[in-house]
Chain A
Amino acid sequence: MEFVSPEGLRLDGRRPMEMRQIRGEIGAVAKADGSAFFEMGNTKVIAAVYGPREVENRSQQISDQALVRCEYTMANFSTGDRMRKPKGDRRSTEISLVIRQTMEACILTHLMPRSQIDIFVQVLQADGGTRSACINAATLALADAGIPMRDLVTSCSAGYLNSTPLLDLNYVEDSAGGPDVTVGILPKLDKVTLLQMDAKLPMDIFENVMQLAIEGCKAIANYIREVLLENTKQLEYRRGP
């Protein structure tokens, strides 16, 4: 199938190096300590963060750092066919783990010993790149909850179809079965915290694809930073001196 036309346009009219429209919004769940809504095109996710709070199960308490937990779910209505998936299926468990590890790497857990941080992310609408969107939403929510972090974590995927590296695959491109590289980076520290790919790709091409994904992450990081700053400013001026 032709994913990039000879005119250099993808199926949805983007060019290979273009990302979908992204939108982030802080404060989607009133009850939570921090929450956010994140959109990458038609992929929409919501994240809520509770904590740091008392550890629920005291045996899990860690004396010198915070316990980070994460739960990823996909709303039943998130895909076209309303499938009732059992909770905690393999895929969800895996993504939960991935997000937890990614976020844990950037949270300064040692500042909040004996406490627990819960991150809940739910996919409201899925159109490829849910993993990345969830990580971005979780970052926003954690920052909103005032949890100290080393750096923002942002994530973006890139693929390789029709011998072209493509940024931010949507569902159609994702299900083409080509390589899909999901990268999570700490933009300030210039470090990679997440790198996933479940296909084979030659090293030189892989580097290009990964570089493209990193560029995408950086663009998202800039956007997320703006959202956070704007939010902070607003909170500050409303509160007043």
Chain B
Amino acid sequence: MRGFQLSLNQTQKLRLQRALEQLESLSSKSNSNASVAVADTIPVNYEDGVLKGHGTLDLDGEVVATLCGVVERVNKLVYIRTLRARYKPETGDIIVGRVTEIAPKRWRLDINFSQDAVLMLSSMNLPDGIQRRRTAVDELNMRSIFEENDIVCAEVRGFQHDGSLHLQARSQKYGKLERGQVLTISPYLVKRRKQHLHYLEEFGVDLILGCNGFIWVGEHVEAKGILIEDQTDKAEQLNTKSSSSTFMSLEEQERTYTSLETRQNICRIANAVRVLANLGFSVTVEVIKETVNLSSSLNLDIHEMLGSEFYVLVAEGEATRKSMFTKKKG
């Protein structure tokens, strides 16, 4: 099994195996033999005409896979849906990224793509929320908005002519993410949905499932307000920061204080994501919630979630859930 080494005892091993087998049997019913490895020939019906899509190559008239994955056919188009791979951006994807560099009028973000993505200062709503031309002052103050290593939530704007990937953050829901954890999982485990930003009220936690496999779990922030309200403070803060950055004012501490319960919730959710990702199960809000609930109902400590027993339980849960789902469908 990839990615993690579990010390399972004999029964756990058996249970896990059984659960996985169950999953396998469920899936093989739905799509059998669609998987291909590199250099496999993809059987196609040439009479219908073929449009070769992503991950395919023409070799002497044969369609050959260049990637490992699952063959998908949409009308004439044949392409390969990869599993483990770097993120492949699509316009409109909500992603979470990390600032790697501040360049003139732009930030560069690591979003698990083959290049860093670009977030232009101009495609960013200014803190004051006013639409205007960006001035030189704004440029100088860029660092007050995002610094290196800040976590940013944004949306894919599209590829530019030069082939670079541009992002935009023109909404209040995007922006800098603070007081939480970022988790990196393989992008194929995050499915594109309508909703990627979730507020889990019962935990007081924000969950962002970035399409690029960066998952944000952080303390809930009221989408509106903070940025505007604290705008003035921010400016002051800037000054204090520059003068005495090591000392945090009481006020600051209070403002950034996260309650223990919330922090625990963050960790619990984060661990749930870790377990699911390690098991290779797709990560959705529902499953995460279910996993968190499962851990709470078992009265497991947060750290115990990463123990082997919990892995087995999650796998078994996933198996029953899926089988119920297919039954329902059937």
Contact = CB atoms under 8 A, between A and B. Distances in A.
A225 B39 contact: yes
A234 B27 CA distance: 10
Interface stretch (A79-87, A95-103, A108-116): A108-116
Contact of B20 (A114, A146, A231, A238): A238
A84 B1 CA distance: 33
Closest 4 CB pairs of A and B: A146-B85, A27-B2, A237-B27, A52-B114
A14 interface: no
Nearest to B80: A148
Contacts of A143: 37-38, 67-68
B57 interface: yes
B interface, how many residues as a size bin?
A: 35 or more
A228 interface: yes
Contacts of A149: 38-39, 66-67
B234 to A, nearest CB: 30
A239 B36 contact: no
20 contacts: A27-B1, A27-B3, A108-B57, A114-B114, A115-B115, A146-B82, A146-B86, A147-B67, A148-B67, A228-B68, A229-B35, A234-B24, A235-B280, A236-B27, A236-B70, A237-B24, A238-B23, A239-B188, A239-B189, A240-B27
Contacts of B40: 225, 229
Interface in A173-213: 187-189
Contact of B68 (A33, A52, A146, A188): A146
B26 interface: yes
A106 to B, nearest CB: 9
Contacts of A115: 114-115
A115 to B, nearest CB: 4
A145 to B, nearest CB: 7
Interface string A24-62: 001100100110000000000000000111100000000
A241 interface: yes
A28 B30 CA distance: 30
Contact of A108 (B3, B30, B66, B281): B66
Given A54-B115, A239-B282, A34 B84 contact: yes
A233 B68 CA distance: 10
Interface in B21-56: 23-24, 26-28, 30-31, 35-40, 55
Interface of A: 26-27, 30, 33-34, 51-54, 66, 108, 112-115, 143-152, 187-189, 225, 228-229, 231-241
A26 B186 CA distance: 15
A114 B66 contact: no
Contacts of B24: 233-234, 237
Contact of A229 (B20, B37, B100, B115): B37
B4 A30 contact: yes
Contact of A240 (B66, B68, B108, B281): B281
B38 A240 contact: no
Contacts of B26: 237, 240
B39 A237 contact: no
B279 interface: yes
B102 to A, nearest CB: 15
A45 B300 CA distance: 39
Interface string B215-243: 00000000000000000000000000000
Given A143-B37, A225-B39, A238-B20, A114 B85 contact: no
Contacts of A27: 1-3
Nearest to B321: A240
Given A148-B66, A150-B57, A239 B115 contact: no
Contacts of B4: 30
Contacts of A239: 83, 188-189, 280-282
Contact of A238 (B57, B70, B100, B280): B280
